[in-house]
Structure 1
Amino acid sequence: MNSKQLSRLTLSAAIAATLMTGVAYAQDDAQAPAQAQAATNHATAKKAGPNKKAQNLEQVVVTGVATNGGVRKIDASYSITTATAAQIQVANPRSAADLLKLSPGVWPESTGGQTGANIEIAGFPGGGDAPFYTNQIMGTPLYGMPSLSFFEQSSMFRLDDTVDHVEILQGGPSVVFGDGQIGLTSNYILKQGTDTPSGSLGVTYGTENLKRIDGFYGFKLAEGWYGSVGGFWRTSDGVRDPQYPSDKGGQLTATLTRDWDSGSLVLWARGLNDRNQFITPIPLIQTGSGQFSSYPGFDPLTDTYYSRAMQHVHLESYPGGGTDANLANGRGAKLAFFGGNYDWDFGNGWTLSDKFLVDGGNMDTNALFSGSNPQTLSSWENAGGTYPDGNVPAGAVYTASYTNGSGLVTDPNADVISQGWWHIHKNLKSAINDFRISKELFDGNTLTAGLYLAHYTDNDRWSLGNPMLMTNTPNATPIAVSYVQGGKTYYVTDAQGLIYNGGFNITENGEATNKAFYLSDSWKTGQWLLDASVRVENEDARNDVCNLSNVNIDGNAYTLYDNSVSMCNGTTTRTDYDKTHTSWTLGATYKLQDNMALYARANKGAHFNSFDDLRGSVTGDTPPLLKIQNFELGYKYELPQFSADVSFYHRQFDGLVYQPSSFGVPFGSKTTYGSDTKGIDFIVRASTPNQIFSVTWLGDWMDGHYSHFKGNVAFSGLDGIFYTNINGQQLQRQPKFQFRLTPMFRIPTAYGDLRLWATWEHVGDHTQDQTGLQELGSYNDFNIGAQYNYGPHWVFTLLGSNVTNALGLTESNSRIAGSAAGSTGVILARPLEGHEYNLQAKYQF
Structure 2
Amino acid sequence: MKLSSLYACASFVALSGAFLAAPAMAQEAAQADAADAVPESVGLDAIVVTASGRDKTQLNTSISVSSISAETISNLKPSSEAEVFRSIPGIQVAGTSGPGGNSNIAVRGLPVATGGSPFVQIQEDGLPTVLFGDIQFGNNDYWTRFDASVANIEGVRGGSATTFASQAPGAVINYISHTGKDEGGYVQVGKGLGYDETKVDFRYGGPINDTTYFHVGGFFKNGRGPLHADYTVSDSIQVKGNLTKEFDGGRGYFRLMFKYADTQEPNYTGSPALATINGKKVTNIRPFPGFDGRDSSNYSIYNQDFLIYNREGNLERTKMDGITTNAKSFGGQFHYEFDGGITVDNNMRYTDMSGGFTSPFLNVARTSSVLGSTVNGATVATIKYASGPKAGEVFTGEYLDNNVNVDTRIRDIGSFANDLTVAGKFDVGTGKVTARAGVFYMNQKIAMDWHVNKSLRELNGDNPSQLDLFDSAGNKLTQAGTAGYNNNWGNCCARDYDLSYANTAPYMSLDFDHDLFDIDGSVRFERVKASGYAIGGGDEFDVVSGGVTIPTITSDGVREDLNYTRSYTSYTVGALFKASSNLSIFARTSRGGRFNGDRQTLGGKIRNDGALCTSADAAAGNGGCTADGVTPSVDFVKQHELGIKSRGGLLGGRFTLELTLLKGSFKQSTYELSATKCPGGAGGCVIDAKYKSTGAEIFATYRNGGFSLVGNATYSKAKKQAAGASSYTRADGIPDLIYTLSANYDVGEIATFGLAVTGQTSAIDSAGYEYPGKAIFNPSLRVYPIRNLELGLQVYNVFDTFDLRGNGGIADASVNPTVISGAPALGRTVSASVRYSF
Partner residue, 1:59: 46
Partner residue, 1:445: 433
Instruction: Give the partner amino acid of 1:429.
Output: G
CA distance in 1, matches of 2:35, 2:336: 17
Deviation of 1:667 (Å): 5.7
For residues 499 and 780 of structure 1, do their structure 2 counterparts lie closer, same or farther at Cα, with a shift above 3 Å needed? same
Partner residue, 2:102: 116
Matched, 1:330 2:314: no
For residues 502 and 844 of structure 1, do their structure 2 counterparts lie closer, same or farther at Cα, with a shift above 3 Å needed? same
For residues 567 and 106 of structure 1, do their structure 2 counterparts lie closer, same or farther at Cα, with a shift above 3 Å needed? same
Partner residue, 2:538: 549
Partner residue, 2:159: 172
Partner residue, 1:145: 132
Contact kept, 8 Å, 1:317 with 1:501, in 2: the verdict is no
Partner residue, 1:374: 365
Matched, 1:313 2:306: yes
Deviation of 1:58 (Å): 1.6
CA distance in 2, matches of 1:84, 1:558: 58
Deviation of 1:618 (Å): 2.2
Partner residue, 1:652: 665
Any idea what SS the aligned residue of 1:57 has? helix
Partner residue, 2:15: none
CA distance in 2, matches of 1:313, 1:108: 32
Deviation of 1:37 (Å): 7.0
- The alignment covers a number of residue pairs equal to 758
CA distance in 1, matches of 2:716, 2:117: 19
Partner residue, 2:387: 403
For residues 409 and 744 of structure 1, do their structure 2 counterparts lie closer, same or farther at Cα, with a shift above 3 Å needed? same
Deviation of 1:555 (Å): 6.2
CA distance in 2, matches of 1:555, 1:806: 47
- Equivalent of 2:754 in 754, 757, 760: 757
Deviation string, structure 1 residues 412-446 (Cα, Å, up to 9, x no partner): 45543223110000121100100010112334111
Matched, 1:189 2:205: no
Contact kept, 8 Å, 2:203 with 2:218, in 1: the verdict is yes
CA distance in 1, matches of 2:157, 2:186: 32
- Equivalent of 1:429 in 399, 406, 414: 414
CA distance in 1, matches of 2:124, 2:417: 12
CA distance in 2, matches of 1:273, 1:651: 38
Instruction: Give the partner amino acid of 1:505.
Output: A
For residues 212 and 137 of structure 1, do their structure 2 counterparts lie closer, same or farther at Cα, with a shift above 3 Å needed? same
CA distance in 2, matches of 1:198, 1:510: 43
- Equivalent of 2:795 in 780, 794, 800: 800
Deviation of 1:821 (Å): 4.4
Contact kept, 8 Å, 1:401 with 1:480, in 2: the verdict is yes
Instruction: Give the partner amino acid of 1:517.
Output: P
Any idea what SS the aligned residue of 2:414 has? strand
For residues 779 and 319 of structure 1, do their structure 2 counterparts lie closer, same or farther at Cα, with a shift above 3 Å needed? farther
Any idea what SS the aligned residue of 2:337 has? strand
Matched, 1:779 2:774: yes
For residues 472 and 125 of structure 1, do their structure 2 counterparts lie closer, same or farther at Cα, with a shift above 3 Å needed? same
Superposed counterparts of 1:299-310, under 5 Å:
299-310=292-303
CA distance in 1, matches of 2:696, 2:70: 27
Deviation of 1:157 (Å): 1.3
Deviation of 1:777 (Å): 1.9
Which range is displaced more, 580-589 or 203-212? 203-212
Contact kept, 8 Å, 1:95 with 1:110, in 2: the verdict is no
Contact kept, 8 Å, 2:166 with 2:526, in 1: the verdict is no
For residues 141 and 726 of structure 1, do their structure 2 counterparts lie closer, same or farther at Cα, with a shift above 3 Å needed? farther
Superposed counterparts of 1:656-695, under 5 Å:
656-657=669-670, 662=675, 670=686, 672-688=688-704, 691-695=705-709
Contact kept, 8 Å, 1:120 with 1:733, in 2: the verdict is no
Partner residue, 1:701: 715
Instruction: Give the partner amino acid of 1:201.
Output: V
Matched, 1:419 2:392: no
CA distance in 1, matches of 2:703, 2:599: 48
Instruction: Give the partner amino acid of 1:646.
Output: L
Any idea what SS the aligned residue of 1:175 has? helix
Which protein has greater RCO, CA pairs closer than 8 Å, 6+ apart?
Answer: 2
CA distance in 2, matches of 1:409, 1:198: 61
Matched, 1:202 2:216: no
Contact kept, 8 Å, 1:58 with 1:72, in 2: the verdict is yes
Instruction: Give the partner amino acid of 1:234.
Output: K
Matched, 1:456 2:472: no
Instruction: Give the partner amino acid of 2:469.
Output: V
Contact kept, 8 Å, 2:384 with 2:395, in 1: the verdict is no
Instruction: Give the partner amino acid of 2:772.
Output: G
Instruction: Give the partner amino acid of 1:108.
Output: V
Query: Structure 1: 5+ residue runs without aligned partners?
Result: 1-35, 46-52, 712-724
Superposed counterparts of 1:727-738, under 5 Å:
727-738=727-738
Partner residue, 2:26: none
Any idea what SS the aligned residue of 1:554 has? strand
For residues 287 and 726 of structure 1, do their structure 2 counterparts lie closer, same or farther at Cα, with a shift above 3 Å needed? farther
Contact kept, 8 Å, 1:286 with 1:821, in 2: the verdict is no
Superposed counterparts of 1:528-547, under 5 Å:
528-547=517-536
Any idea what SS the aligned residue of 2:160 has? helix
For residues 659 and 838 of structure 1, do their structure 2 counterparts lie closer, same or farther at Cα, with a shift above 3 Å needed? closer
Which range is displaced more, 594-603 or 635-644? 635-644
CA distance in 1, matches of 2:670, 2:536: 23
Query: Structure 2: 5+ residue runs without aligned partners?
Result: 1-31, 488-492, 608-612, 614-627
Matched, 1:592 2:579: yes
Matched, 1:228 2:228: no
**TM-score, scaled relative to structure 1:** 0.85
- Equivalent of 1:628 in 633, 637, 656: 637
Matched, 1:277 2:257: no
CA distance in 1, matches of 2:307, 2:560: 28
Any idea what SS the aligned residue of 1:363 has? strand
Deviation of 1:406 (Å): 3.8
Partner residue, 2:17: none
CA distance in 2, matches of 1:202, 1:381: 53
Any idea what SS the aligned residue of 1:99 has? helix
For residues 236 and 108 of structure 1, do their structure 2 counterparts lie closer, same or farther at Cα, with a shift above 3 Å needed? farther
Instruction: Give the partner amino acid of 2:147.
Output: D
Any idea what SS the aligned residue of 2:542 has? coil
CA distance in 2, matches of 1:795, 1:473: 36
Contact kept, 8 Å, 2:90 with 2:157, in 1: the verdict is no
Contact kept, 8 Å, 2:675 with 2:684, in 1: the verdict is no
Matched, 1:266 2:255: yes
Contact kept, 8 Å, 1:121 with 1:734, in 2: the verdict is no
Partner residue, 2:25: none
Contact kept, 8 Å, 2:191 with 2:832, in 1: the verdict is yes
Deviation of 1:549 (Å): 2.4
Deviation of 1:116 (Å): 1.7
Instruction: Give the partner amino acid of 1:135.
Output: I
Instruction: Give the partner amino acid of 1:76.
Output: T
Contact kept, 8 Å, 2:36 with 2:178, in 1: the verdict is no
Instruction: Give the partner amino acid of 1:684.
Output: A
Deviation string, structure 1 residues 492-516 (Cα, Å, up to 9, x no partner): 111x111222223210111111111
Which range is displaced more, 444-453 or 212-221? 212-221
Taking only aligned residues, the RMSD between alpha carbons, in angstroms, comes to 2.5
Contact kept, 8 Å, 2:51 with 2:172, in 1: the verdict is no
Deviation string, structure 1 residues 794-832 (Cα, Å, up to 9, x no partner): 22232221111111112246xxxx755442221121111
CA distance in 1, matches of 2:185, 2:546: 65
Deviation of 1:59 (Å): 1.5
Deviation of 1:697 (Å): 3.0
Deviation of 1:220 (Å): 2.7
For residues 404 and 655 of structure 1, do their structure 2 counterparts lie closer, same or farther at Cα, with a shift above 3 Å needed? closer
Deviation string, structure 1 residues 349-371 (Cα, Å, up to 9, x no partner): 11000001111221201101123
CA distance in 2, matches of 1:558, 1:192: 60
